[in-house]
Structure 1
Amino acid sequence: MIDQTEILHHLAEGNPLLFFAYSVSEAKVLYVNETYEQLFAPARRATIDADLPGLLHRIPGDDRAYALACLKQLATGAMHDDLLLRMQPSPDASSQWLRVLARRTVASDGQVLLCGTVQDVTVEQEYTRNADKFMAKKNTTLEILSHDLAGPFNMMEQMAGYFQEKTEALRDPQLEKLVRVMRDTCRDSVNLIRDFVDVEFAESASVQLKRRRVNLTTSLRQVMDTYQQAEHLVAKHFSFSSPPDVYVELDNNKFLQVVNNLVSNAIKFTREDGHIAVALEQHPRHVLVTVADDGVGIPEKLQPALFDRFTEARRPGLRGEKTTGLGMSIIRALVQLHQGTIRFESQENVGTTFYIQLPL
């Protein structure tokens, strides 16, 4: 009769997952299956303990410190259900993404062990990152289009109102009807554009976060590059500043929607040729994201209720853009879901700055 050890051996050796058992007490690998040699060629199982330092150096510097910190926590009993590691087989090679699932256990002889699996998820991660990139670009483009298209419609609505005043004396029912249709169509078009963007943003607050380790510098730069390329459309100047690489665990799509919405609000309340600046700073225990403008500012009497749902602080933009009063409450909710905080400083006719602090 086949015993359990033999069954487990056959399962492990025929599996595309890398199975491992590492003794923390003895600082050596007790077992890996044959997938190790496929995943880290030309490595060999017989020399795995000697190979470990070289494998560790395949992990880029920032990621290496992160991996070692996670493994240290794991050795004390914490569990990492989804630890992603990025490896660079050689300077010219593409990154290899590995998902590590491991747990701490104590063997019958008292040894502390780390046991688990390693899976190559490079294709999945590249797909996810491309999807995130285009999702962020889509959301940014929608915000730009909403402002770019709303401007002409608002102007035409104002013109329709002017035509209505000037043609009242003619008492021509057909002309009055045409002018009224023109005015209502323009107003409805502006509302439709804004509603489409607002509804998509509102839905994001009801979705569970999918957090992962993200290079926030790269993500924010992609968003701001799109705004900078569209400066001529919204008649504003955009800038972005950040250290080279800042890694944070967050839901990338949701957080970029927060930044997009803050930039969108800044566009609404900043005059033509104004400036909007996004900055990222790294501190020992947190990162700080700021979105600043030199617009009309928020009146002092409206500031205490700014983050309330359906707040009385809602007001139309400088081009007459509508607002539901939900945007800022959703922004705060999404920041708090990331265990972060958001605050602002504002002065009328000077500008507004929002500060988002996220824990590392």
Structure 2
Amino acid sequence: MSDALGPRLSWTEPVTGAESAFRNKAKLVVGGRRGEPTLGILDGGQRGVDLTGCGLYEPGLADVVHRLPAVVADLGLTPYDVPGRTGELKHLLVTHSPDGEVMLRFVLRSPGQLRRIREGLDVIRERVPETRVVSVNLQPEHKAVLEGPDEEVLTDLDTLPMRVNDVTLHLRPRSFFQTNTFIAEALYARARAWISELRPSTVLDLYCGVGGFGLHALGHGAHHVIGVESSADAILSARRSATELPEGLTSEWHAGDATQHLMDATPDLVVVNPPRRGIGPELCGRLETGGPAHLIYSSCNVTTLARDLAALPSYDVRTAGLFDMFPQTGHHEVMVLLARR
């Protein structure tokens, strides 16, 4: 391993957290019938199975999820019946913040019952006073896709603040955030520690999501961050969060293809946090021929990470860390710091 990854590779202490009660997000399939919904998953016959008592939810989220069947019943929403292709409410997507606030997203087959939700905001707030953001997502297709492209926010507030270390990330309804807040804090803190040692003036944050890595870098060696992410909602979140940072720190956030974006002037550091498919040969080639002195690569798939590292022969892995982002599974987050030879 040392020959492949570099002669001075050192592993930091693995970061682990609770084996249960760690998820900040619930993705609930709605089954049952009007007035008697089930929230959880579907069985082999495509009928609803209740999972409101799932032990993976962090305590505040677990408490909210227990109250949601009554909310759906009170609003008079009709669960979507998969075998019959009838009904409206397909999913409930719930995110819980460290401050105990909630974002609640209703995924409907059509706008038919949107009015019930809009007119029932007081019912939702009465049942779930933790609610900060309520939105409706439209997913008209009959296939295993969690949400669709159209979303309408029904509340005056449209972001859920997520405190992560000393940075507040403002999540919009379709903004991605890690499901394990405790491990996410450790991941960003470790990256910040590496960045503080490197003192890069400019950081390019590719696949930046809501800006977690870039926002943690600002003021800790980095004075300017450029973030690139395909999700326009995530970019809006990053821009909103950046407004709360101290004066003198600048950033810019672009919605676009991260594989195509390298600056004309090479940045001091590039951070990549791609989806499971990795960064791929095109971006590896660009980094190999014109990349900076250092890279930070955070990966949720060690197979594609290893493939991409092999495509970056000019870099050595100097430091690596494992983060147990997904307890009770074989998945984990690995982050590596690379230095050009």
TM-score clears 0.5? no
Structure showing the higher strand proportion among its residues: 2
**Higher radius of gyration, 1 or 2:** 1
When the two structures are superposed, what TM-score results if normalisation uses the length of structure 1? 0.28
Structure showing the higher helix proportion among its residues: 1
When the two structures are superposed, what TM-score results if normalisation uses the length of structure 2? 0.29
Higher RCO (C-alpha under 8 Å, 6+ residues apart): 2
